[in-house]
Chains A and B, each alone.
Chain A
């Protein structure tokens, strides 16, 4: 399983270099990557991606993230979590996000950020559930849903669920497309 994940990750990285971030490539069932055209999507902090298997980096960000909260306390905690994450302090980052969630328990961005932290920690099942939970609060926010499905795809790749990952990436692409529409 590990070898397979590594192969997939390697294949993805190679492709990413070639694709300049415009195309996101989920792995196929056979473990060989094939291209699925998607718009540039994820805004996942690159430092997280750098350390996760199956991480996919896109450099183009056509739709900027909206303000993730109107509450300054939540923003402060998000900033703090971001810094801790950069420093590799996942646990502390998670703790700050949980603090933010106590203030805004229905903010989908916070759940998504927590999912990112879990993904970086290698807790794939938990990352997927948290992303689903984020989706449950997302309503019609294609920008957010796109990121969330992207994350689910990444976690599934890491779990070796290539078919599931492909489905997730497709959804991510669809939502990204929607997000670009005015």
Chain B
């Protein structure tokens, strides 16, 4: 707003008289009044000012030195390893490349470009420093056949087959210095000249000659301020840098004065190049949700998805134009305004003959060229990042994480993560709709890890996977119900002299008495008692009564004492109900427990970080694979057989709606009182996954483990396409033909038998003659009481991993039955 001329003049007069009065009075003070008191006052004043300047000097130097190197820690997902034979489609590879900023180009010879070919893809990677060294840029050809990589070639003067290559890993987040500042550090010699020219022409033409301030600019600003206009600019790059160090919206004369003093001090201590380099990395250039974009290096990626050295003149001008106010000049929100501002910058450059007229005209006519993309905030995978962060906090000081520019290589597999997120979100919606549950009331969490290496491949902390809220995968503690039962059964199977898979268990009514507690009378989910049931059957159908009795016989304390070995820190109360999972665990803890079952009794601590490398590429720390023997191979093998029974013929039978039976999945459903929690934990040949579904207010969901969590597990795994589960049979295990109904050994040639594993020495000595000439009907009863009639088959192999050639096929169930199963 402009003031009328007369008003301006009157302000000017006031200002002049103030100045002259000031000049006039000072000598009077200093020289005309003699006396000791005055001299002391003057001395104190002088000391005060020096002290203040000294303080400012220390502050600005501190800020400059500190900021100069404040680099966020960069967190990467897993690098995709590509080799012939890898299960991968062209679409998956293209997605991977696009996610890390590759562009389609008919001649993909520049880094980060690709083109589709008939059978595959041709592309050129970027130089990338991995945890174990530099992988130089490569021009490659990948071809696919039958869902796998069939050819991998490096293209040079002569093309050659190569055995393996790594794609650069995707950045999945950062750990940022204060105010969530993110930046990609650039050295001055990496910054293209046109950018510096544009910046200096537009913002501070006398940069190389002034002392940090521009007196005329200041005078102009002061004049405008005093004449009642807006307090404004006239800032040199040095001043702007100082201003950026102490981000406040305060606009006062004191602040301006401090800024001027600090700028002068900064110029005394540092060279122009140092100041310019810091400016280029420091200046604020935009906001990405909670993440602040600082510096031209990062802004180049953020707006143009290319490194700074690959931008063109008009793009440099765009960035420089935004310096004035990135919130106002936001090219995604106000492209026209930004084009206008860009052209002002270009015009200034042409006017100063920094560029030629023809360069000006060409650049002016170019489109903005800013890439559109959804802001990702600090990370698209907040749940996983939280896990990484907690692990880092154990080993690093907070300030080092936020300022040392560490590069953190993690285990997250974006493909698996995407399947986990999608399955959770879509299935919960479908379940709510199908069961007329109020929309968006169900919540869930998913953890997926790799069996043998314990690496977390995906973690979802809630339905809204992008939302960094409560992380249910780590922080929710929900009763696990039957998920804990395998520990009871494993304890039994560890004593083969007493227990085998066919040992009859007592499922008749049970009362457990303990002083100080009310009598506990466990019930089965189907409200029936089953008298004598085979051990494997009791687990397959998740019978509570026989499991509780088994646990009591084995010793409650003895079983609970084993939990720490499996990575479960908390100690449940020594009650029989604890054996049925009446205590809370987090999904991540359940994943750790099942990882040990999946890995043949070896516990591999779940981990999210592989290695940490310093900003200049030196390995700082590795998180190597560690393995601990927890349980013997034979009983774990037997347990896996029983858990495969859960899927084959027990409570998780309907998993077959998602995964083929020959996947031989081992798993366990978990359902808690009044259907508050729905769990499924299971493993395939290569992955362990846990899903929890429930409500945040802990109200009943109406879902069993099989009708809720398991359907998400199935949906997710179907899309991940895991490897079938084929555990290696330990030396001390042998297979014996068993009559599945009577649970007795029968002659090897008998039809209708199942091959069950036994620890050597525990094989029943007695061999019955073939039970049946005509085979009986085998009934299986699942949790919901739905009886599946299974046709008897030829000898059925039940050893884990055996191809189920003659597997009893469960009857196709109706949609309604499935839901209630």
Chain A residues within CB distance 8 Å of chain B: 71-73, 75-77, 91-92, 94-96, 98-99, 101-103, 105-106, 114, 126, 129-130, 132-133, 136-137, 139
CA distance A149 to B730 in the complex (A): 17
- With A95-B132, A102-B450 already in contact, the answer to whether A73 and B84 are too (CB < 8 A) is yes
| Residues of chain B contacted by A129 (CB below 8 angstroms) | 602, 627-629
Tell me how far the C-beta of B738 lies from the nearest C-beta in chain A, rounded to whole angstroms. 24
A94 and B686 contact, CB distance less than 8 A: no
Indicate which residue in B81, B133, B602, B622 contacts A102 across the interface (CB closer than 8 Å). B81
Given A106-B728, A126-B626, 7 other A-B contacts at CB below 8 A? Answer: A73-B81, A94-B622, A96-B132, A98-B610, A102-B81, A105-B451, A129-B602
A91 and B622 contact, CB distance less than 8 A: yes
CA distance A114 to B624 in the complex (A): 10
- With A72-B83, A77-B164, A95-B131 already in contact, the answer to whether A105 and B686 are too (CB < 8 A) is yes
Is B147's CB within 8 Å of the partner chain A?
A: no
Q: Mark B131-173, 1 if CB is under 8 A from A, else 0.
A: 1110000000000000000000000000000011000000000
A99 and B81 contact, CB distance less than 8 A: yes
- With A72-B164, A76-B163, A91-B619 already in contact, the answer to whether A136 and B83 are too (CB < 8 A) is no
Indicate which residue in A98, A99, A133 contacts B602 across the interface (CB closer than 8 Å). A133
Q: Interface majority SS on A: helix, strand, loop or mixed?
A: helix
Closest to B409 in A: A95
Interface residues of B in 618-642 (CB under 8 A from A): 619, 622, 624-629, 633
A133 and B453 contact, CB distance less than 8 A: no
B619 and A73 contact, CB distance less than 8 A: no
28 residue pairs bridging A and B, Cβ less than 8 Å apart? A71-B85, A72-B83, A72-B163, A72-B164, A73-B83, A73-B163, A76-B163, A91-B619, A94-B622, A94-B624, A95-B611, A98-B453, A98-B610, A98-B624, A98-B625, A101-B625, A105-B450, A105-B453, A114-B625, A126-B626, A129-B602, A129-B628, A132-B629, A133-B602, A133-B627, A136-B602, A137-B728, A139-B728
A126 and B627 contact, CB distance less than 8 A: yes
Closest to A125 in B: B628
CA distance A64 to B628 in the complex (A): 31
| Residues of chain B contacted by A114 (CB below 8 angstroms) | 625
B132 and A92 contact, CB distance less than 8 A: yes
CA distance A130 to B626 in the complex (A): 8
Q: Mark B75-119, 1 if CB is under 8 A from A, else 0.
A: 000000101110000000000000000000000000000000000
Is B452's CB within 8 Å of the partner chain A?
A: yes
Tell me how far the C-beta of B549 lies from the nearest C-beta in chain A, rounded to whole angstroms. 32
Tell me how far the C-beta of B66 lies from the nearest C-beta in chain A, rounded to whole angstroms. 31
| Residues of chain B contacted by A98 (CB below 8 angstroms) | 453, 610, 624-625
CA distance A30 to B780 in the complex (A): 61
Tell me how far the C-beta of A132 lies from the nearest C-beta in chain B, rounded to whole angstroms. 6
| Residues of chain B contacted by A130 (CB below 8 angstroms) | 627
B164 and A73 contact, CB distance less than 8 A: yes
CA distance A114 to B768 in the complex (A): 48
CA distance A76 to B81 in the complex (A): 13
Q: Closest 9 interchain pairs by CB? A: A73-B83, A105-B452, A73-B164, A72-B163, A76-B163, A73-B163, A95-B132, A92-B132, A129-B627
CA distance A139 to B728 in the complex (A): 7
B164 and A76 contact, CB distance less than 8 A: yes
Count B interface residues, CB 8 Å. Answer: 30
Tell me how far the C-beta of B600 lies from the nearest C-beta in chain A, rounded to whole angstroms. 5
| Residues of chain A contacted by B626 (CB below 8 angstroms) | 126
Residue among B455, B600, B629 with max Cβ neighbours from chain A (10 Å): B629
Residue among B84, B451, B728 with max Cβ neighbours from chain A (10 Å): B728
CA distance A30 to B624 in the complex (A): 36
| Residues of chain B contacted by A136 (CB below 8 angstroms) | 600, 602, 633, 728, 730
Closest to B84 in A: A72
B728 and A103 contact, CB distance less than 8 A: no
| Residues of chain B contacted by A99 (CB below 8 angstroms) | 81
Residue among B164, B455, B610 with max Cβ neighbours from chain A (10 Å): B164
CA distance A102 to B450 in the complex (A): 9
CA distance A75 to B164 in the complex (A): 10
Indicate which residue in A75, A94, A102, A133 contacts B163 across the interface (CB closer than 8 Å). A75
| Residues of chain A contacted by B85 (CB below 8 angstroms) | 71, 73
CA distance A75 to B84 in the complex (A): 12
CA distance A98 to B610 in the complex (A): 10
| Residues of chain B contacted by A105 (CB below 8 angstroms) | 450-453, 686
| Residues of chain A contacted by B610 (CB below 8 angstroms) | 95, 98
CA distance A59 to B625 in the complex (A): 31
Tell me how far the C-beta of B567 lies from the nearest C-beta in chain A, rounded to whole angstroms. 16
Interface residues of B in 37-84 (CB under 8 A from A): 81, 83-84
Closest to A139 in B: B728
Closest to A104 in B: B452
CA distance A88 to B781 in the complex (A): 60
CA distance A130 to B452 in the complex (A): 11
Interface residues of B in 377-406 (CB under 8 A from A): none
CA distance A94 to B610 in the complex (A): 11
| Residues of chain B contacted by A77 (CB below 8 angstroms) | 164
| Residues of chain A contacted by B84 (CB below 8 angstroms) | 72-73
Closest to B728 in A: A137
Closest to A84 in B: B132
Closest to A138 in B: B728
| Residues of chain A contacted by B633 (CB below 8 angstroms) | 136
CA distance A133 to B636 in the complex (A): 14
CA distance A125 to B309 in the complex (A): 50
CA distance A100 to B611 in the complex (A): 16
Tell me how far the C-beta of A92 lies from the nearest C-beta in chain B, rounded to whole angstroms. 5
CA distance A126 to B624 in the complex (A): 11
| Residues of chain A contacted by B611 (CB below 8 angstroms) | 95
Indicate which residue in A71, A96, A101, A139 contacts B83 across the interface (CB closer than 8 Å). A71
Tell me how far the C-beta of A98 lies from the nearest C-beta in chain B, rounded to whole angstroms. 6
| Residues of chain A contacted by B686 (CB below 8 angstroms) | 105
Interface residues of B in 429-475 (CB under 8 A from A): 450-453, 455
CA distance A102 to B80 in the complex (A): 11
B627 and A102 contact, CB distance less than 8 A: no
Tell me how far the C-beta of B779 lies from the nearest C-beta in chain A, rounded to whole angstroms. 37
Tell me how far the C-beta of B85 lies from the nearest C-beta in chain A, rounded to whole angstroms. 6
CA distance A76 to B83 in the complex (A): 11
Closest to A97 in B: B625
Closest to B603 in A: A129
Closest to B601 in A: A136
CA distance A76 to B163 in the complex (A): 7
CA distance A137 to B686 in the complex (A): 14
Indicate which residue in B133, B452, B602, B622 contacts A101 across the interface (CB closer than 8 Å). B452
